[in-house]
Structure 1
């Protein structure tokens, strides 16, 4: 066991509110900077108490929050390779605190806490999947976690630890993006009933399902990783979900063989050649054909269909190659003939794709068309077209998504890539679109050049007195509003600003019925998304153009400033900077910017900073729009050259 909490360069940067480059510079410039106590040559670790002492002695402004201290104490318990087990054990302890706070208070006062704590936690969390040989509980770490729970609440305290874990193991964890998870749930999960995720990981999809259905849903999950299954169970149980999470391999040892879920959502492991081909050859789940050895994803598709009720829906993420590999064409063809595969959306040019399936009911006539949306349209097109198409697949969908005749797909290749089945345009139409896109890109590039502006160079970094957003809120300079996790959508007429609207700069696209806790937006509000996207709502902002007001959407936070004391763009710039330093990982909960550090400056200086931040935010929006225009131009260029409607320029000589 490590003797002390340790931090790496990224942790130090977060504590001091600087970039990693500044930490590297300190190590070169200061001979008394703490020496590494572990880690590797490329990612050294330092003793937290030595770093704190050094920052204090050199006058560097820093803040070690209770959450940061709890995380570092947890990491100090064992090697990072066992960090998942440590986090799972911490989750079990936090669930025990949530369920038996009085028992913890009695136990914490005893001298034999270390001996009695494991039995107390096990008794209060018997519904959790258990870890093999968990490390012993450290009393001081337990007390620090208890303080964090008292400060933030059990659910938010554990989400913070999960976020830190996702940051530490970002290369090992394959998490589902929050916006994709939420869209998958909206597309296939009913308001109530049972939802199954047979490869649930840390529970991202099931948490999105609980946010959608609330207490009306029942959630089943399984994952091959014991620590991931336990983490998922804790996250759901802390939010009051009716959940059963089991550890194990769903393909080889299905924990829910009799399940008839109302919906199945899944982000399975991709390209797994050891999925069990040999021992599962005669499995009854392969109703649409034996999945090839190298097509584990088609095994997961059929497993999901076997565990959903007749008429129930499946949303599953698939690698782009799964739509066109020759080895899987027989299974794909059978899925189409049976009417099981209903829609495919390419989420990006490099994948993954989202497949929507429906388990056919007895005697049901299979549809004649498959809904497709390519990477240029993606989720928004699928969400707009799917409800009507799922009810009447014989009608042509409106919008960018399109219906493709299944009979046209059942050739020798059964190639289901949406980009391949984009409708062909006439030569004049494509030429006009290509020329218009090229002109828009040129105009956008010129506008970007004019908008870049100039910032004065500062030879030495100025040390300024700092505060935090939480302190500004206590002083009344800003009021923080958060939307409910779930809105009542039935009959909803109220416009809702969503995270996608925030990113695109467009008007509100969501709708909701009136409900408790809803937040009406106002001019001057600073709106922040978990991804770090920030937007200041001006009086003429399209987000405020709806009569009767616009509501703040789920997962978003609004910061309403006292304009006589705090400039909104000044605040927005530092919130944006804080999101760059500590990005929120997909599926780990809401962004918490209360710890973002803000300089204490008079209002005139704030406004000068605010004007510069406003220009940078506009530049960021322009870059995003220019990138989208560039992708459109490239796509049209390839299409025109391949179809013969465009030609290369004549070569001289």
Structure 2
């Protein structure tokens, strides 16, 4: 490994399996922590070799994975402004390895200098469909190229590139506005994109196109390096991809093309979108977009590229539903039957927006088909509500609470304001009994709240300790980890998520069966990989679900290790790391627990179980109490309740 590879604080945290706060503490507490050798005052860079030596000296070293080493070397191959091109070049090389393995075997036998000289031409010939010149960005470092090839030989090339892309997105999180995967899954499901030809005219690094399941994926992005990354990700998965670089509004790469579905998360609030030069563009079928309403230009661009009856699902800032300059276009979309649904999501669903964004679902009108209503959904974080409401709307079924339909004729007033939060009824405004129900639930929760009793020890007991690593080697416990990445996209297989574990609820995720998934069995102990203030370990009472990302599973021999005893000890380990000022990942080989006979373990386990149940009851009581207070205030102010 080269000594000039540089890493920042986030890299060190990932390598050492700790939080960034821990790295900051190390720099303050330890005089021998490596000094910065580059970067800036706010984002210093350190020598990876020196950091590894320091971690070893302080017994904090975790073996750096081959993928992490390759990534750090890629990152050091050029400056940050060229990092996207370098990552794209690495991706082009991975496609070349897959398409021409015999050619690589011949090249790999060449001396380093000749390999570096001949490789770009070989890549350009084998991978002609990538935008720009990705071969020109392949690092001129033969040892790095060979390390990348070795890594691809051990792991699927697409998995290698996914890992590199994840780190690239993390390194440029402020520049790359990536659609969250669960939101991408929702958008592509609503668009009915699977199996057809799908276009994303602002594709970024391809998150929506990857989620779409499209037979043919078409995309365009103003950034050539982003477009190249999209193409690499799709091609590595064997997808047919047509990806172009350029500004979709000013220089449409697919003029006249119409596809089956469009998904898009465009840039928001772009006042330089081309208002003057595009004033007479034929795409503005519903009106010239105002200078400050670039999002309405993207809406009409998308509608121009979808076949009649085809769906467009596009992310929009919440204010686009009510801003006065856009009311004429909103009205025309309603009159034509092109706008079918608006769904408000939560803050963070669109990284480009500081507020809660909306999904607009549009359909290119079909002659003779004139919808009379618009679906409105106030989903927030509950993406399943958006799915359920859309299915019910299509099938003519009962809409779930939090959604409604509005007659288009009733929306065509002077403002044409379409904000779901202003239209979807709040339960307390129509159901005074909601407060009574909340009060009864809160009172019942209070009555069931039994405070655990523990007896003081006459003196502190010193107990011999062991750790889970020793117990694992002795066959007393087996440790499994959930997948690093798992598409939770509505398949038939239930998935236990980290949030399910925290809230003590049944598995809420859904995925498709695949090799390598860990099926949970009754009696298994589940804990989060990362210890936080809300860390909890639980003993599973039901099986059949699979283990989700960021979770660990401990399967014990119950005659030698009580599951509830283990769960309590894991909880203590997490709390201890928090009290010490670290967000360190719980290493199952280091978690400590007393060495006790099974009978004593079960007694301790029962005490731990009662404490965890009390914690859950308190959390539920807080939820009920918050709901009671909200409904009380709302009811008093809207006249459905009065003082008793």
Q: CA deviation at 1:68?
A: 1.2
What is the distance in 2 between the residues matched to 1:357 and 1:473?
A: 60
What is the distance in 1 between the residues matched to 2:199 and 2:573?
A: 37
Q: Do structure 1's residue 561 and structure 2's residue 555 form an aligned pair?
A: yes
Matching of residues 634-645 of structure 1 within 5 Å: 636=631, 639-640=634-635, 643-645=638-640
What is the distance in 2 between the residues matched to 1:95 and 1:474?
A: 42
Which of the numbers 177, 180, 184 marks the counterpart of 1:181?
Answer: 184
Q: CA deviation at 1:11?
A: 2.0
Which of the numbers 355, 358, 378 marks the counterpart of 1:353?
Answer: 358
**1:477-531 CA-partner distances (Å, limit 9, x unpaired):** 2356769978998xx9x66347598476544567899998887542245679999
**1:322-369 CA-partner distances (Å, limit 9, x unpaired):** 1110011111111111111111111126311111111111222x2211
Distance 1:3 1:59, change over 3 A: closer
What is the distance in 2 between the residues matched to 1:511 and 1:24?
A: 38
What's the counterpart of residue 598 of structure 1? 588
Secondary structure at 1:374 match in 2: strand
**1:254-312 CA-partner distances (Å, limit 9, x unpaired):** 11223221111111111111111111111111111111111111111111111111111
Larger deviation, residues 494-503 vs 46-55? 494-503
Distance 1:229 1:572, change over 3 A: farther
Matching of residues 247-326 of structure 1 within 5 Å: 247-326=245-324
Distance 1:558 1:402, change over 3 A: farther
Larger deviation, residues 185-194 vs 165-174? 185-194
Q: Do structure 1's residue 113 and structure 2's residue 115 form an aligned pair?
A: yes
Q: Do structure 1's residue 477 and structure 2's residue 478 form an aligned pair?
A: yes
Determine if contact 1:97/1:104 at 8 Å carries over to the other structure.
yes
* Aligned residues: CA RMSD: 4.6
What is the distance in 2 between the residues matched to 1:157 and 1:258?
A: 37
**1:170-192 CA-partner distances (Å, limit 9, x unpaired):** 12221111111111111122542
What's the counterpart of residue 195 of structure 2? 192
Secondary structure at 1:477 match in 2: strand
Secondary structure at 2:410 match in 1: helix
What's the counterpart of residue 204 of structure 1? 207
What is the distance in 2 between the residues matched to 1:202 and 1:262?
A: 21
Q: CA deviation at 1:563?
A: 3.9
Distance 1:617 1:376, change over 3 A: farther
What is the distance in 2 between the residues matched to 1:375 and 1:90?
A: 40
What's the counterpart of residue 458 of structure 2? none
Distance 1:135 1:67, change over 3 A: closer
Q: List alignment gaps of at least 5 residues for structure 1.
A: 454-462, 545-549, 581-592
Q: CA deviation at 1:159?
A: 0.8
What is the distance in 2 between the residues matched to 1:446 and 1:79?
A: 63
Calculate the TM-score normalised by the size of structure 1: 0.78
Q: How many residues align?
A: 603
What is the distance in 1 between the residues matched to 2:166 and 2:619?
A: 26
**1:423-444 CA-partner distances (Å, limit 9, x unpaired):** 36676834x4346557867998
Determine if contact 1:222/1:247 at 8 Å carries over to the other structure.
yes
What's the counterpart of residue 22 of structure 2? 22
Secondary structure at 1:107 match in 2: helix
What is the distance in 1 between the residues matched to 2:536 and 2:303?
A: 42
What's the counterpart of residue 368 of structure 2? 363
What is the distance in 2 between the residues matched to 1:90 and 1:242?
A: 20
Determine if contact 1:502/1:534 at 8 Å carries over to the other structure.
no
Matching of residues 325-474 of structure 1 within 5 Å: 325-348=323-346, 350-364=355-369, 366-375=370-379, 378-392=382-396, 397-423=399-425, 429-430=431-432, 432-434=433-435, 437=438
What's the counterpart of residue 97 of structure 1? 97
What's the counterpart of residue 72 of structure 1? 72
Q: List alignment gaps of at least 5 residues for structure 2.
A: 348-354, 455-464, 579-583
Which of the numbers 160, 166, 170 marks the counterpart of 1:157?
Answer: 160
What is the distance in 1 between the residues matched to 2:123 and 2:331?
A: 51
Distance 1:322 1:152, change over 3 A: same
